[in-house]
A and B are shown apart, each in its own frame.
Chain A
Amino acid sequence: MTTGPGSTSAKILRRDRGAGWIGGVAAGIASRFGIDVSLVRLAFVVATAAGGFGLGAYLLAWILIPSGEPGSPGSRLPTGRAAVEVALGTGLLLLAALLTFRALGIWFSDAVVWPLVLIASGGALLWRQSLGGPDSGAEDSPARPLAGAPARAAPAPEALAAETRRAAAAISRTGIGIALVIAAGFVFLQATGALGAARDVLLALIAAVVVLGVIFAPWVVRLVRSLTHERAERIRSQERAEMAAHLHDSVLQTLAMVQRSAGDPGEVAAIARRQERELRGWLAGRPSRGSDPLEGSLAVALEAAAADVEERYGVPVEVVVVGDRDLDANHEAIVAAAREAMTNAAKFGGGSTVDVYAESASGRTQVFIRDRGPGFDPAAVPGDRRGVRDSIVGRMERHGGRARVANAPGGGTEVELVLEERQ
């Protein structure tokens, strides 16, 4: 067995809850003084067996020695299961101690054994819960905005749901702890035969609880409400920070670029156009172009292709998609062919807007790419210009589709791509 992970930097005595079994006392001592943790544990067990001194020392150390610095990798905080294990461990340890006492003859009555064990377990669970709770919250929440970042549009409900789940788990653990402690009380009363008298006490107790509830309920409600409010506020401020970050590296950046190239109207228009497309995509919750272009839908892929062509040739490309669908190999081919057609339209269309229209319904996908340039004569295309023949017509045919290039009425060229899904 090796020493705990906190050993390298530990100069001060800290409990190492990550490496520890119960409270990390033994692991903390071991790493502070550079001895094997099993030796420390053995020492505690021997000390416990020999008169119970070890148990007292352990509990005292647990309370007095602070746990490792929050956030350091060594201080892994207890999950739900760890908390339960702690409760179980405490109970068993106490049982061992009691049995030792009994064997040594320092003993009053068997009646106290089970109540003590139960109350120790329940108490450990409760203490662990109420002391560890805020810690685990602090550990989790800074990581949350990063994890939620790609979701962008709706991080709030997710974060809230996660918090709710965590809160529910904490409440259920607290509930088990309380039940254990109450059970301890009952067992004790049962064993001492005081249950009958306890009934009267219980009535008085219930009355007291009701009275106290009425007095303190508004205060508790207000506390809960302010906590909820604070949580919502925190999530909102995270969203605001994220929004600010996005605007900073997109819009503000673009405005700076516009100022620098103010002398070149074409360049300014291209920059503005690119930014507009990017911002619209962001507002609509579409993934940015940095992500894998093959991942996603037909609409996303066509938009990305259009943005790329637009940027490269400085010609506006308008995309309208009706009835989106997922991409497969054939639809990737239709996007690639459409991209080639957009490039041609941008190059030879005389700088006019390129209109792209895609429609996908009941297994049939059509894409139209139209420009308003001087038109196109298929017969006049020289043999070495392979763009149209290979990248558009050939590619569509290889993937079971077809392509048609024609002069559009009113001038310009229109490319039509069709893909029918075979059953």
Chain B
Amino acid sequence: MSGPRVLIVDDHQLFRAGVRAELEPLLEIAGEASGVEEAVTAIEQHAPDVVLLDVHMPDGGGIEVIRRTAARTESPPCFLALSVSDAAEDVIAVIRAGARGYVTKNISGEELADAVRRVHGGDAVFSPRLAGFVLDAFAGPAPQQQSELDALTAREREVLQHIARGYMYKEIALRLDISPKTVEAHVSSVLRKLQLSSRHELTRWAAERGLDL
């Protein structure tokens, strides 16, 4: 099995143990880390493919881990944010810092493993709630300096609405009569817009978490 190797970063020992127990039969666990400092060294040491990252930790949280790893290495791993929080400012801030997806902690083990594989395969992972946030953020009229990054295409909006309705990528493909690869391309494009757009809502949410972009 050449599945992705996963590093679990969370400051709650109990939660790390739980995730490890759930993922161990499905994926290879590269290691664990309980804080920002430990995570940065563990990433260097174990070179995992995917880092499951807690958003709220002392000393800057998941955002700080992403930032410091990016400053140290040429080819950082994929980050998948995992948090109990479903507040907009948390979600948007960690995505804009560079995470490729965001799932909440009540996700099942199988769904989590699936999300890890998808992130490793280069896709973005949007939970229904994250899709809802994105639709909300891009809902108003685009700002003055009209950029391709500041608005969603009709197709992207449609894909996001289906994610918010609880559809899986395969089901969206069936429903919209496009290939699953195309669905993934749309979601990745939305992720890029989410990370690079200068829309007021996004910058505000990010700024609330002390992320200056």
Task: Report B-chain residues with C-beta under 8 Å of the C-beta of A276.
Answer: 106
A232 interface hit (Cβ, 8 Å): no
* Docked complex Cα distance between A414 and B168 (Å): 14
B128 touches A320 (CB 8 A): yes
Say if the beta carbon of A355 comes within 8 Å of chain B: yes
Bound-state Cα–Cα, A321 to B131, Å:
10
Give the Cβ gap from B173 to chain A, nearest Cβ, in Å.
9
Bound form: Cα–Cα A156–B168 in Å: 45
- Judged by a CB distance under 8 angstroms, whether B38 is at the interface is no
Closest Cβ–Cβ distance, residue A29 to chain B (whole Å): 63
Name B121-141 residues within 8 Å CB distance of A. Answer: 128-129, 131-132, 135-136, 139
Using A318-B166, A320-B164, A322-B139 as known contacts, say yes or no to A357 and B174 having CB atoms under 8 A apart.
Answer: no
- Nearest A-chain residue to B171, judged by Cβ: A410
Chain B residues contacting A318 (CB-CB under 8 Å) are 128-129, 166
CB distance A357 to B171 under 8 Å?
no
Q: Which of A280, A321, A322, A355 contacts B166 (CB 8 A)?
A: A355
Q: Which residue of A lies closest to B84 (CB)?
A: A276
Contact A322 B167 (CB under 8 A): no
Contact code string B128-169 (vs A, CB < 8 Å = 1, else 0): 110110011001000000000000000000000100111110
Tell me if A353 counts as interface (CB < 8 A to partner B). yes
- Taking chain B's interface residues, is the majority helix, strand, or loop, or is none over half, making it mixed? helix
Per-residue contact bits, chain A 321-332, to B (CB 8 Å; 1 contact, 0 not): 111000000000
B-side contacts of A355, CB under 8 Å:
128, 164-166
Q: For chain A, residues 348 to 371, give those with C-beta under 8 angstroms from any C-beta of chain B.
A: 353, 355, 357, 359, 361, 368, 370
Question: In the complex, what's the smallest C-beta–C-beta distance from B110 to chain A, in angstroms?
Answer: 13
State which of A280, A353, A410 has its C-beta within 8 Å of the C-beta of B86: A280
The count of chain A contact residues (Cβ–Cβ below 8 Å) is 19
With both chains docked as a complex, state the minimum distance between the C-beta of B160 and any C-beta of chain A, in angstroms. 9
**Chain B interfacial residues counted at CB < 8 A:** 20
Given the contacts A355-B128, A410-B174, A323 and B139 also touching, CB distance less than 8 Å: yes
B167: A residues at CB distance < 8 A:
370, 408-410
Q: Is B175 an interface residue (CB 8 A)?
A: yes
Q: Is the CB–CB distance between A410 and B139 below 8 Å?
A: no
Which residues of B are found within 8 Å of A321, using beta-carbon distances? 132
Question: How many A-B pairs with Cβ below 8 Å?
Answer: 50
A368 touches B174 (CB 8 A): no
Which chain B residues border A368 with CB–CB below 8 Å? 165
Contact residues of A between 304 and 321, Cβ < 8 Å to B: 318, 320-321
A280 to B83, CA, bound (A): 13
**Nearest CB of B to A353, in Å:** 7
Q: How far is the CB of A324 from chain B (nearest CB, A)?
A: 9
**Across the interface, which residues of B come within 8 angstroms of A359, CB to CB?**
135, 161
Does the CB pair B128–A410 fall under 8 Å? no
A264 CB to closest chain B CB, in angstroms? Answer: 19
Question: Known contacts A357-B132, A359-B135: does B164 contact A322 (CB below 8 Å)?
Answer: yes
Contact partner of A357 among B136, B166, B170, CB < 8 A? B166
Cβ-defined partner of A409 (8 Å) among B128, B131, B171: B171
A409 touches B86 (CB 8 A): no
Closest chain-A Cβ to B165's Cβ sits at a distance in Å of 4
> A353-B166, A355-B128, A357-B166 known; A408 and B171 CB under 8 Å?
yes
A residues in contact with B168, CB < 8 Å: 410
State in angstroms the CA–CA spacing of A410 and B87 once bound together.
30
| CB closest chain-B residue, reference A321 | B132
Closest-by-CB residue of A relative to B111 is A353
What residues on A are CB-neighbors of B132 within 8 Å?
Answer: 320-322, 357
CB-CB under 8 A from A353, the residues of chain B are: 166
- Report the bound CA distance from A318 to B161 in whole Å: 14
- Scoring A residues 87 to 122 as 1 if CB is less than 8 Å from chain B, else 0, what string do you get? 000000000000000000000000000000000000
In the bound complex, do residue A322 and residue B135 qualify as a contact, i.e. CB atoms below 8 Å apart? yes
- Interchain nearest-CB distance for B130 vs A (Å): 9
Most buried by A among B86, B139, B165: B165
Contact with B along A175-186 (1 / 0, CB 8 A): 000000000000
Output the least CB separation between A154 and chain B (Å). 16
In the complex formed, the residue of A with least CB distance to B134 is A322
* Contact, CB under 8 Å: B136 / A323: yes
Choose from A280, A322, A408, A414 the contact partner of B136 (Cβ within 8 Å).
A322
Collect the chain B residues with CB atoms within 8 Å of residue A409's CB: 167, 171, 174-175
B139 touching A361, Cβ below 8 Å: yes
Within 8 A of A (CB), among B79-105: 86-87
A357 touches B129 (CB 8 A): no
Closest to B170 in A: A410
Residues of chain A within 8 A of B171, CB atoms compared: 408-410
Q: Which of A284, A318, A321, A322 lies at the interface centre, i.e. has the most chain B CB atoms within 10 A of its CB? A: A322
Residues of chain B within 8 A (CB-CB) of A357 are 128, 132, 161, 164-166
Residue of B nearest to A354 (CB): B166
Chain A 275-290, CB-CB to B under 8 Å as 1, else 0, gives 0100010001000000
Q: Which residues of A contact B175 (CB under 8 A)?
A: 408-409
B contact residues around A370 at 8 Å (CB): 165-167
Instruction: List 21 A-B pairs, Cβ < 8 Å.
Output: A318-B166, A320-B129, A320-B131, A320-B132, A320-B164, A322-B136, A322-B164, A355-B128, A355-B165, A357-B166, A359-B135, A359-B161, A361-B139, A368-B165, A370-B165, A408-B167, A408-B171, A409-B174, A409-B175, A410-B168, A410-B174
A355-B128, A368-B165 given; name 20 further pairs at CB < 8 Å.
A276-B106, A284-B87, A318-B166, A320-B128, A320-B129, A322-B135, A322-B136, A353-B166, A355-B166, A357-B128, A357-B132, A357-B161, A357-B166, A370-B165, A408-B171, A409-B174, A409-B175, A410-B168, A410-B170, A410-B171
